[in-house]
Amino acid sequence: MKNFPGGLRYNHPMQDGAKNTPSKWPGFERRVRIVTGVIIAIYVIPHLFNHMLGLVSFEAMETVRPVLASFWQWTPIWWVLPTVLITHPLFSMMAVCRRSTLRMPPAELSQILLGLAVPLLLLGHVVATRVTRTATDVDTNYNYVLASMAADDFGVVMQSVLVLVVWFHLCIGVHMWLRFRKTYRRIQPVLYPLAVMWPVLALVGYWRALAEMRVKVSDVDFKIEVFKEWSKVDPDLRLALGWLEEILIGLFVVLVGAAFLLRLLARWRRRSRIGAFIRHSSGKQVAIDDGQSILEAMRVAGINHASMCGGRARCTTCRVEVSEGLQSLPAPTEMEATALSRIQAGPRVRLACQTYPNANVSITPLVDPRTVTSADDGRRGGVAGAEREVVAMFVDLRESTKLAEDKLPYDVVFILNRFFAEMSDALDETGGHYAQFAGDGLLALYGLETDLQTAAGAALDGAQNMMDRIERLNDEISSELARPLRIGIGIHAGEAIVGDMGPPSTPIRSAIGDNINIAARLEAMTKDLGARLVVSTTTVELANRNYSMHRQEDVEIRGRRERLPVFAVE
C-alpha cells in the first residue's frame, strides 16, 4: 500500500483460508473463570448468611457454622476451595494481559479492580482461619475469630471492606455473565434488592456478634479458655504464620506486576509482528496490534469512535467505509454480514468492531461519534438504552384530519385532550407505559416492570379497555362530534432497545427497533383489514389467550421476507 509506513502482512486467524486457526484458549479461559466464580459464589452466599444469623444471636451463628463448613472440610472437597481461590484470579489476570486495550466500560474496570483487591484483603483472613486450623490444633470457630478481632478495630474495618469488595465483585461478574440471558432479565427486579440487602444484613449480623463478643472477652477466664489451644502452639510456628501473610501478599503484588509487564511485552510483540497501520480520515495513522479490531485500535489511540452497542455487532453505528485495503481484509462474519444487510450497506462498508485488519487500510467513519451515546460512557442525549423484551402498542385516532376540518382549533384540542386522557387512564389501569405521542397517535410499552408473558396479557387487556373507553367517550361528547371517534390499535411483542431518548434536557422513556416498527405497521393495517385491533399471534400465544373466534391473516411486513400471522379483531 502506498504512503504507509511498514507493509508486512500476515494471515489473520479469522480470515477465510488463513493458515492460522482461532485459538480455543480464550474460550477455555473464560469457562474456567465462570466455573471458579460460581464455586466461589456457592461458598460466599451461605457464608454471609451465617453472618446474618448474628442478628439472632452469637449461638445461632456458631450452631450453623459447622453445618455449612462440613461440606468444604469433607476430604474429597477440601482441596477445591483453595484451588479455586488461586485459579480464579490467575486466569483473570491472564485475560487482562491479553486485552489489546485497557480502555473499557466502567463496570468491567470496577470488576477488575475489585478482583485485584480481593486477594489483598482475603489472604490475612485465610491464614488466620484455614491455614491456622490446618497447621495447628486450634479450632478457628466464631469464638476464636471474633475474640481475635475484639480489640482490633483496623481488622474489623478490613473485614467489613472485604465483605463488600467480594460481594460487589461477585455481583458485577454475575451481571456481565448473564446480562443477555432472557431469564436473568426477567428476575432482575428480584435480584436487585437481594444484591443490596444480603451484604448489609451480613455486616450488621457480624457487627452485632462482635459487640456481643467484646463483652465476653472482658471476662479474663473466658479469654484464657478461647485462646488456650493457641497458647500451646510453638512460638516459631506462630511467628511463621505471621510472616506467611506478608509473604503471600508480597507474592501476589509481584504476580500482578509481572502480569502487566508481560502484557506490555506481548503488546509490543503483536505490534512488531503485523507492522501495518490504519489511516483515519482525520489524517491520523494508528498502528494495528495482532488480533485487534479497528474499533479497539481507535480506542487505544484515543480516537473517539461511535459504538452504540459497545462493540458486539448489535448495531451498525461503528461502521466505516474502507477506501484502501478492502481486498486484504478478512471476509465479514455471518453476524457482521447480517447487521450490514439490515441497512443495505455498500460493498466498502464494514463494522469496525468486527473487522480485524491484517494489512494497511484507510477508513472513514460513517457515524459522527458526537451524535451517539455509547454503551461505554455515561453521557446523556441521543439514544441510551438496553435490549429487553417488551410489548409495543400503537394507537391511532381515525379521521383526525376531518375532525380538524369540522371543528375550531380549540374544540379539536378539547376532544384530543379527552381522547389522550382516556388512553392514559387505560394504560394506568393495565400497567402500560405512555412512551410518546405524535399528533393523533401514541406509543405505549408493556413489560418494563414485568415479564413478557404478563406484559402480553396486560397489553390485550389495555386494548380492550381503550376500546370500551372510546365507546363511553363517544356517548359523553356525542354533541361535539359529527361522527363517532374510532381508533386503530397494533400490538406486537419482541426485543427492542428501551431507554431514555431525545434531547439531554427533556429525555423520554421510549423504545426503538424492528419489533416496534412492526407494531406501528400492524396499527396501519387496521384500515386495510377493517379491524379495530391487529395483534401478532406471537403476542396472543404469550398471553395464553384464545383468539380463535377472530379472523386470522398472514400479512406482509415491509422490509421482512416472511409473512407475519396476526389476528384482526373487528
Top pLDDT among 99 and 153 is at 153
Tell me the per-residue pLDDT of 318-365, one tens digit each, with 9 for 90 and over. 999 999 999 989 899 888 888 888 777 888 999 999 998 988 999 998
Name the DSSP letter for residue 45: H
Tell me the per-residue pLDDT of 479-500, one tens digit each, with 9 for 90 and over. 777 778 888 999 999 888 787 6
Task: Note the pLDDT of residue 176.
Answer: 79
Whole-number percent of the chain with pLDDT over 70: 84
Give Cβ neighbours of residue 156 (< 8 Å, ≥ 6 apart): 149, 207, 210
Out of 92-101, 182-191, 235-244, 556-565, the most confident range is: 235-244
Boundary of a domain, candidates 233, 265, 297: 265
Out of 3-17, 27-41, 240-254, 273-287, the most confident range is: 240-254
Tell me the per-residue pLDDT of 79-128, one tens digit each, with 9 for 90 and over. 888 898 888 888 888 777 766 566 666 777 788 888 889 988 888 888 88
408 with 355, same domain: the answer is: no
The enclosing domain of 332 has a CATH number of 3.10.20.30
Furthest C-alpha separation in the chain: 101
Confidence of residue 522 (pLDDT cuts 50, 70, 90): very high
Q: Which domain holds residue 564?
A: 382-569
556 with 481, same domain: the answer is: yes
Top pLDDT among 246 and 373 is at 246
Q: Are 286 and 277 in contact (CB under 8 A)?
A: yes
441 with 541, same domain: the answer is: yes
The enclosing domain of 124 has a CATH number of 1.20.1300.10
Domain annotation covers residue 233: no
Task: Note the pLDDT of residue 277.
Answer: 86
pTM score, whole prediction: 0.52
Domain annotation covers residue 97: yes
Boundary of a domain, candidates 347, 371, 395: 371
Boundary of a domain, candidates 265, 289, 313: 265
Residue with cell 449461638: 59
Task: Note the pLDDT of residue 5.
Answer: 37
405 with 362, same domain: the answer is: no
Top pLDDT among 61 and 8 is at 61
361 with 429, same domain: the answer is: no
Tell me the per-residue pLDDT of 444-459, one tens digit each, with 9 for 90 and over. 999 888 888 999 999 9
Task: Note the pLDDT of residue 15.
Answer: 37
Beta-carbon count within 10 A of 563 CB: 11
Give Cβ neighbours of residue 261 (< 8 Å, ≥ 6 apart): none
Q: Collect contacts of 417-423 with beta carbons under 8 A, ≥24 apart.
A: 418/473, 418/477, 419/470, 419/473, 419/485, 422/466, 422/469, 422/470, 422/472, 422/473, 423/395, 423/466, 423/469
Write the single-letter amino acid at 172: I
Task: Note the pLDDT of residue 321.
Answer: 92
Mean pLDDT of the chain: 82
The enclosing domain of 399 has a CATH number of 3.30.70.1230
332 with 440, same domain: the answer is: no
Alpha-carbon torsion (80, 83, 85, 89), positive or negative = negative
Number of independent structural domains in the chain: 3
Task: Note the pLDDT of residue 272.
Answer: 57
392 with 465, same domain: the answer is: yes
327 with 388, same domain: the answer is: no
Domain annotation covers residue 297: yes
Domain annotation covers residue 1: no
468 with 423, same domain: the answer is: yes
Domain annotation covers residue 41: yes
